């Protein structure tokens, strides 16, 4: 992420704040940057970073580049873009085109000279042209080889292994399919076309072939504007990711892709960016913009400026960055405090958001003119008596014989214990009485059943007689 955007971007921003739901198809990169995991070796210790290399940009101009260690697809694309930037500063492609043009001119001049009928001067000229053609051809091929080697040096050792395998298969292997469908018996060699193909294959080791389609689906279906992110950094982040889209692989690059499928690795136009921003802002902000501007926006820069003014006018909730001094304070982009909306008291009136005044501090105790050095040294109320009248400490720091604080405490504890014991005894006695009464009732019930049973037996015997 670019430095000026990182200052406005919240470090603790989560994926769910910028997404309506979890993406069904994982996009190549998401709106909230993924956290870079620190690389560790097999022993669990932090692995050392590769040493930076010095790269020549232009004449008498160099820069230092740290070999790239893969962390996510977004940073990997930026690594490849850095390689393109260095080649552009070195003017490698333009120099190559100039050398190729010289070689073609030499070949045309050589073709116009007949070696059989040429005189001594023409033969010498022919020899010079052939020498020049071979020289510029070698220089042109050396520029391409230098570009291949530069990409390898800008990669960490783990990425170099994959890169070497891809270059071997693409540039120095036979049997590749020619446009007519037959297998080739020669190698492609290192050219600008094979360099782009190798870089694309190297990217495909970390993302899918339909990465561009996944990103387009993610933007249209999953993306939303985080509530605590202002419109300006939100647009900057979108623009940063939008610039990476042309480098993503898409289904249109496949040979068997249907003709009706459109190319997805195309950056959004200004009008499409404006449409996306107006769809992702709140209804309140969008309605305010429609009232002030009857035409549909087509310039993203002008639109962002207008939306930023509307946010200030509506006192849109935009907290300060997480690294500010007061993390709990919220306000507008200019730092002013904003009262919360739609909060009501029990009576229906709007709640006041002014701070409740604190109670004044208690006044210090009046000076009685008394002071005890023993209580001041060992603890106690030092201004209630003098040192000579102290009944708390002796001069050695021990308890005074007349101090009954601990005795009173132990007496209270003993008193409480005695009360608890007496209550427990009363409870036990009451429980025993209840149990005895229950047992007596059971005995009476049993005796009644026996009497009733004997009476029924006597009556039945008399009837039988």
- Residue-wise pLDDT tens digits, 17-28: 999 988 988 999
Q: How far is Cα 297 from Cα 300, in angstroms, rounded to an integer? A: 8
Q: Residue range 388-417: average pLDDT?
A: 68
User: pLDDT band for position 397 (50/70/90)?
Assistant: confident
User: pLDDT band for position 334 (50/70/90)?
Assistant: very low
Per-residue pLDDT reduced to its tens digit, 224-248: 999 888 899 999 999 999 999 999 9
Count of alpha carbons within 13 angstroms of residue 52, beta-carbon side: 7
Do residues 317 and 228 make contact, with C-beta atoms less than 8 angstroms apart? yes
Range in 178-182, 374-378, 382-386 with the lowest mean pLDDT: 178-182
pLDDT at 440: 86
- Name the one residue in this structure whose structure tokens are 């601990």: 406
pLDDT at 360: 67
pLDDT at 408: 43
pLDDT at 410: 43
- Shortest CA distance to 239 belongs to which of 206, 211, 277? 277
Could you tell me which residue, 344 or 311, shows the higher pLDDT? 311
Hey, what are 238's tokens? 């979108």
Do residues 100 and 74 make contact, with C-beta atoms less than 8 angstroms apart? no
Q: Give the chain's mean pLDDT.
A: 81
pTM for this model (two decimals): 0.63
3-state secondary structure of 216: helix
Number of other residues whose CB lies within 10 A of the CB of residue 2: 12
pLDDT at residue 74 greater than cutoff 70: yes
pLDDT at 356: 65
Per-residue pLDDT reduced to its tens digit, 146-156: 999 999 999 99
pLDDT at residue 345 greater than cutoff 80: no
Torsion of CA 74, 76, 79, 81, to 10 degrees: -60
Q: Residue range 168-180: average pLDDT?
A: 85
pLDDT at 330: 42
Q: Residue range 300-317: average pLDDT?
A: 86
Q: β-strand 53-58 against 61-65: which pairing, if any?
A: antiparallel
Q: How far is Cα 201 from Cα 211, in angstroms, rounded to an integer? A: 13
Tallying the residues shown for the chain, one arrives at: 465
Range in 12-16, 77-81, 195-199, 362-366 with the lowest mean pLDDT: 362-366
Instruction: List CB contacts of 387: < 8 A, sequence separation 6 or more.
Output: 371, 372, 373, 374
Q: How far is Cα 123 from Cα 129, in angstroms, rounded to an integer? A: 10
Per-residue pLDDT reduced to its tens digit, 109-122: 888 888 777 788 88
How far is C-alpha 294 from the chain's CA centre?
38
User: Beta partners for 56?
Assistant: 62
């Amino acid at each position: 992420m670019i430095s000026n955007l990182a200052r406005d971007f919240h470090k603790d921003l989560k994926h769910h704040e910028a997404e309506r739901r979890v993406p069904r198809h994982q996009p190549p990169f998401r709106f909230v940057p993924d956290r870079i995991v620190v690389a560790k070796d097999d022993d669990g210790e932090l692995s050392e970073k590769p040493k930076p290399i010095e790269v020549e940009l232009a004449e008498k101009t160099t820069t230092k580049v740290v070999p790239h260690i893969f962390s996510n697809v977004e940073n990997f694309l930026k690594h490849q873009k850095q390689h393109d930037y260095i080649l552009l500063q070195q003017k490698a492609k333009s120099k190559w085109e100039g050398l190729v043009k010289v070689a073609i001119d030499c070949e045309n001049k050589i073709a116009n000279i007949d070696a059989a009928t040429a005189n001594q001067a023409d033969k010498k000229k022919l020899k010079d042209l052939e020498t020049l053609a071979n020289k510029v051809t070698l220089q042109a091929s050396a520029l391409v080889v230098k570009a291949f080697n530069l990409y390898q040096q800008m990669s960490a050792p783990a990425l170099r292994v994959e890169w070497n395998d891809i270059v071997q298969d693409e540039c120095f292997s036979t049997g590749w399919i020619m446009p007519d469908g037959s297998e080739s018996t020669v190698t492609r060699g290192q050219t600008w076309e094979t360099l782009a193909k190798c870089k694309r294959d190297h990217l495909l080791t970390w993302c899918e072939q339909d990465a561009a389609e996944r990103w387009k689906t993610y933007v249209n279906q999953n993306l939303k504007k985080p509530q605590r992110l202002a419109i300006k950094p939100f647009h900057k982040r979108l623009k940063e990711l939008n610039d990476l889209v042309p480098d993503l692989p898409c289904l249109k690059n496949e040979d068997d892709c249907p003709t009706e499928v459109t190319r997805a690795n195309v950056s959004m136009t200004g009008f499409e960016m404006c449409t996306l921003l107006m769809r992702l802002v709140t209804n309140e902000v969008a309605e305010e913009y429609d009232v002030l501007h009857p035409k549909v926006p087509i310039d993203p820069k002008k639109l962002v400026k207008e939306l930023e003014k509307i946010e200030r006018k509506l006192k849109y909730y935009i907290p300060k960055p997480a690294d500010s001094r007061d993390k709990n304070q919220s306000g507008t982009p200019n730092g002013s405090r904003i009262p919360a909306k739609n909060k009501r008291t029990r009576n229906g009136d709007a709640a006041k958001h002014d701070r409740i005044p604190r109670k004044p501090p208690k006044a210090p105790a009046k000076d009685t003119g008394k002071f005890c050095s023993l209580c001041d040294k060992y603890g106690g109320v030092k201004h209630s008596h003098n040192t000579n009248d102290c009944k708390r400490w002796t001069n050695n720091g021990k308890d005074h014989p007349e101090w009954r604080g601990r005795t009173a405490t132990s007496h209270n504890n003993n008193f409480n214990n005695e009360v608890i014991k007496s209550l427990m005894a009363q409870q036990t006695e009451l429980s025993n009485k209840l149990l005895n009464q229950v047992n007596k009732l059971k005995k009476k019930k049993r005796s009644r059943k026996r009497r009733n049973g004997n009476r029924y037996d006597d009556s039945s015997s008399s009837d039988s007689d």
